């Protein structure tokens, strides 16, 4: 499964490990993804999303329905 946030679209970034001698080797920066179940009161059903910690904070602040509605408008939703 891809390491991509279902709400924000955050995904793996690529960069370098830099040693003390300034040698550079490739590495990957992974997003902080959590698998969570959310209850949608309008439909009365549960959905499971893989969301980043940033998206989880946004859901706590604005509510799941508002976040899903905005994500559907922006075509960010990957579920």
CATH code where residue 65 lies: 2.30.170.40
Distance CA 10, CA 12 (A): 7
Question: Residue 69: which residues within 8 A CB-CB, separation 6 or more?
Answer: none
Could you tell me the pTM of the whole model? 0.83
According to DSSP, residue 7 is labeled T
**Are the CB atoms for 79 and 58 separated by under 8 Å?**
no
- The number of folded domains in the chain is 1
Distance CA 29, CA 6 (A): 18
* E strand or H helix that includes residue 29: strand 24-29
Query: Which residue range(s) make up the domain with 48?
Result: 13-74
Write out pLDDT tens, residues 4-59. Answer: 999 999 999 999 999 999 999 999 999 999 999 999 999 999 999 999 999 999 99
């Amino acid at each position: 499964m891809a390491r991509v946030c279902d709400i924000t679209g955050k995904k793996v970034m690529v960069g370098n490990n830099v040693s003390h001698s300034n040698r550079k080797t490739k590495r990957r920066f992974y997003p902080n993804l959590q698998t969570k179940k959310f209850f949608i009161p309008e439909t009365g059903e549960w959905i499971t999303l893989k969301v980043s910690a940033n998206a989880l904070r946004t859901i706590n602040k604005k509510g799941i329905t508002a976040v899903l509605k905005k994500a559907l408008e922006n075509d960010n939703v990957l579920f």
